[in-house]
Chain A
Amino acid sequence: MKRSIPYFRIVNVVAELCMQANWQLGEDVIKALRKARKQEDQELAREIIDLILENAIIASTEKVPLCQDTGMALVFLQIGQEVEIEGNLSAAVTEGVKEGYSQGYLRKSVVSDPFIRINTGDNTPPIIYTEMVPGDEFKITVFAKGFGSENSGAVAMLPPAAGEKGMKEFVLQTIRQGGSNACPPLIVGVGVGGTMDKAASISKKALLRPLGDSHPQPHIARLEEELFQEINRLGIGPQGLGGKTTALAVHIETYPTHIAGLPVAVSVNCHAHRYATFNL
């Protein structure tokens, strides 16, 4: 017996998630910021983190966006094979984003053509990633992806010989080049393996892991920790004005890859890490 999900339920959940993501900073991020503040010894760095924490309280209390860049909506759907969707799924998600960005007084930051650049007026279309899974769950995650940080991302097709060292060098170079533009402190997602697009896709998945959770495989967890230390040793600091906190977390996701390749993708997110999940 298939579980049936009505069209409007999807619209309403997506709309709520768009607003939640933009108003409510995750507890894991707040915890990481408080920990970072304790470790900072530069006064300006501490003040900046204090302002970030104060901003989070204002945003969630008054239901206003954490950042004025309420981002492009990345929507991740995990649909169980026992689930039946009533109606056009993509249309439901798109309508949900339109509703959420309107009801939540969120900014409309999407242009319909990358060259002609006329604002679509409703922050659609979203970017939708759909994964079919066994069972009857239906999980929706809305990730509001701001472009200050997105513009700092990069992909490299490394030779296999580059190895761990080559991967780390590329990540460090990417973060160094971004400097203050991605609004440090950052959350860094690295995707390694697959094809170019798969690496990029899993680098976004890496950003959606709760901060403080390391990768289950020991050699990847070690690389995450090493990169975390090395990125913070760059000394870029909060807002690029110096300090010990350049990254709040580094997560790596991997996928099997071709014998001739080592694709590495870096997705960067700022401290206004905005995503919300709901299980229908």
Chain B
Amino acid sequence: MVMEGILYTARDEAHKKMVEAISRGEDLPIPLENQVIFYAGPTPAPPGKVIGSIGPTTSSRMDSYTPVLLAHGLRGMIGKGNRSRQVVNAIKKFGSVYFIAIGGIAALLGKKVCKCELVAYPELGPEAIYRLEVKDFPLLVGIDYQGNNIYGEDNYAT
């Protein structure tokens, strides 16, 4: 399948900051409700280009932060690799979806980004939160809202 729409990039550090903000009752720097997070840190944009190369990082590193974000309205996530049992249960509970992007085709994926804007945590450099507008972005459904898992039934990341 291909996706057209808005994505927010966020990796380990950004997830840590957001979950800490939630626990302190603070506002988040991005809307979570019905949004999709892409576990990615792009290369810098060369002159004349919207973005450099971009691709998924290993999703399981974000597993410990994910159920909280799903509980606060996050609709979808894009990454690569399997998720923990807790994440799969949270996906089913909140009716969200986990998409897979192919790793290592980052030059190609970069071309599917029409717009890229730095929106939060600039001090994190490549780990900052970027708001992306994408078109014809190739994805696979990894885990759907019913818990059907492309990596196999009852198969989880540890």
Contact = CB atoms under 8 A, between A and B. Distances in A.
Nearest to B127: A119
Nearest to B105: A55
Contacts of A119: 124-127
A172 interface: no
Given A67-B55, A180-B81, A183-B80, A105 B46 contact: yes
A223 interface: no
A148 B110 contact: no
Nearest to A273: B104
A106 interface: yes
A179 B157 CA distance: 9
A109 B110 contact: no
A69 B105 contact: no
A109 B127 CA distance: 9
Q: Looking at chain A, what size class is its interface with the partner chain? A: 35 or more
A270 B104 contact: yes
A55 B151 contact: no
Given A58-B107, A180-B151, A105 B43 contact: yes
A201 to B, nearest CB: 25
B52 A65 contact: yes
Interface stretch (A46-54, A129-137, A159-167): A46-54
B43 A179 contact: no
B57 interface: yes
B111 to A, nearest CB: 7
A203 interface: no
B137 to A, nearest CB: 12
A44 B53 CA distance: 23
A108 B102 CA distance: 22
B124 A62 contact: no
Contact of B104 (A106, A181, A271): A271
Interface in B73-126: 80-82, 100, 102-108, 110-111, 124-126
A69 B108 contact: no
Interface of A: 44, 48, 51-52, 54-55, 58-59, 62-70, 105-109, 117, 119, 121, 148, 151, 179-181, 183, 239-241, 270-272
Interface of B: 13, 40-46, 49, 52-55, 57-58, 60, 80-82, 100, 102-108, 110-111, 124-127, 138, 140, 150-151
5 contacts: A58-B107, A107-B43, A121-B125, A241-B140, A272-B104
